[in-house]
């Protein structure tokens, strides 16, 4: 079992192999389709950062440098005027972010991406180059995962809607599995190849 704390070093990432179990603690930022599109269009691919988004850019640079982004559309309850609690925090299918993820990993120096279902070749190469890893969270365990969220520290872009906003959370011993490592290994690719072989054999 590997214990990781954000911000995560390159050495800690390189030590991980596909199949390794991980307990993650520290700061995590949630981000789904709207968030990734926003990051790419306003910060990464933009000729100049919009003045209205400059402060948020600096904040996110600090949060994501050596950090982790979680493909998650949480169920959230408000427990005070400015306080929130995660009721459910299950992973979103990650492949939807494939078009954006490599750019976000490189630009913000991400070390981890959490989701379910895995990602494709461009993200896998970014994991090798950065280095970074893809961490698989158990789908269908949203309430259990939420128990690892010990604090909701902040939220950005709430105008995107609760599931699409960027929630800054502190987690403690969040259970995950490395399924794409920084050495070019992807359990998702392996399973897909084995499945194709089995199907071919069955079809004769």
36, 71, 136, 188: the catalytic one is 36
78-97 as b/e, with b when 16 or more CB fall inside 10 Å? eeeeeebebebbbbbebbbb
Confirm whether 188 is a catalytic residue: no
Burial of 32 (0-12, 13-18, 19+ CB in 10 A): buried
Residue whose structure tokens are 């089995």 = 198
- The span from the CA of 133 to the CA of 71, in Å, is 14
Q: Catalytic residue numbers? A: 36
């Amino acid at each position: 079992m590997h214990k990781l704390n954000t911000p995560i070093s390159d050495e800690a990432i390189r030590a991980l192999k596909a199949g390794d179990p991980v307990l993650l603690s520290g700061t995590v930022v949630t981000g789904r389709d709207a968030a990734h599109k926003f990051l790419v269009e306003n910060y990464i691919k933009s000729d100049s950062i919009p003045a209205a988004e400059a402060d948020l850019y600096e904040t996110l640079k600090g949060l994501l440098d050596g950090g982790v982004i979680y493909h998650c559309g949480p169920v959230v309850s408000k427990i005070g005027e400015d306080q929130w609690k995660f009721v459910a925090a299950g992973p979103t299918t990650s492949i939807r972010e494939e078009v954006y993820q490599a750019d976000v990993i490189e630009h913000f120096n991400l070390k981890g991406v959490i989701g379910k279902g895995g990602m494709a070749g461009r993200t896998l190469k970014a994991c090798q180059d950065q280095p970074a890893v893809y961490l698989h969270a158990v789908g269908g365990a949203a309430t259990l995962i939420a128990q690892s969220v010990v604090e909701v520290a902040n939220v950005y872009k709430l105008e995107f809607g609760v599931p699409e906003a960027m929630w800054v959370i502190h987690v403690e011993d969040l259970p995950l599995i490395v399924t794409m490592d920084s050495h070019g290994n992807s359990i998702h690719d392996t399973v897909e190849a084995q499945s194709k072989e089995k199907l071919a054999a069955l079809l004769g």
